[in-house]
Chains A and B, each alone.
Chain A
């Protein structure tokens, strides 16, 4: 299922009386040939009805979408979600923070010849 298909199905799920095909052109710039392929695909599957230039979800389609709960992210893109490996326990805003120096990249640190350590991180 493509991204725009998910978006259209989500919009149809949220609409009360269906939506005109043209709506998807204004919202997502879906071209007529693309929407017609969508219509053919999901009409065959019994998910939508297409009549009078309007798309509506069938009762079966509504159930399918409800069960599957399409995971449509509010603002898409791979950069909008933080991968789990980078997530740690949250700390309060403005609370002091001291990084574990052993975990800090050598590029960030500049070790002094005398053995002292200078970091780019300001002391707090």
Chain B
């Protein structure tokens, strides 16, 4: 591969900061080539330099932080708490992964009899058994749309008084603040700025947004029943630059689709940098 001076230095700096990309050289080269112009390349390089690709050490640290919140700071008691995953149907998801993995950390802190619930609807049955303090756990909070929907569900279907708090591995800082202002208590040890609007201001922001939109216009506008429009700039416009793939996780749909959308406008399969595993995709 022949490479110019500017690209060479961008690649070098990127590899130096993001070692995980050394395993994805071909995918990265394809993405950079897809960009075409200098400005788009620079935007992608900048996003990747700031990307949070969690490694097991960081992930374990965050799980430990979550467990500390659950046991020591949530204000809930073990006897009346149900640790609840956001999973709504019979498909496995990252919420169940977090529920399973945080459980051992919580156990080590002394909550050995904590009730865990891996199907959201089952929270109602457990409420009736006296588990009136509900602690929702999940991997990532992007726009908060899903979480708001689930809280509405609880308020509608739980027949009595209950308390609910939420705990995420990571999330978008701006949205976490909004949720807390709305009265939905969210603990998140890794609060991230939005990938584009959190870093650029004024004209630079407009330019970066236009560049990203132009890149998205060169992706397939739908795949099976999924519309790219729904995921533009990440689901709910979350602008996330984060993935748990380095810890056997999935890439959230809150991440810019340029990194994981499987086809380009000509329906040609892309070798994507990240993988989003989702039903019907």
Contact = CB atoms under 8 A, between A and B. Distances in A.
A37 B11 CA distance: 12
Contact of A22 (B1, B8, B15, B16): B8
B5 interface: yes
A50 B16 contact: yes
A32 B11 contact: yes
Contacts of A40: 16, 19
Contact of B9 (A21, A31, A33, A37): A21
Interface residues of A, number: 14
Interface string B4-42: 010011011111100100100100000000000000000
Contacts of A32: 3, 8, 11-12, 15
B16 A25 contact: no
A8 B204 CA distance: 38
Tell me if B's interface is mostly helix, strand, loop or mixed: helix
A35 B12 contact: yes
Interface residues of B, number: 14
A51 B134 CA distance: 50
B26 to A, nearest CB: 11
A53 interface: yes
Nearest to B23: A33
A119 interface: no
A25 B3 contact: yes
B2 to A, nearest CB: 10
Interface of A: 20-22, 25, 31-33, 35-37, 39-40, 50, 53
Given A21-B8, A39-B16, A53-B12, 16 more contacts: A20-B9, A21-B9, A21-B12, A22-B5, A25-B3, A32-B3, A32-B8, A32-B12, A33-B15, A33-B22, A35-B12, A36-B13, A36-B15, A36-B16, A53-B9, A53-B13
Interface of B: 1, 3, 5, 8-9, 11-16, 19, 22, 25
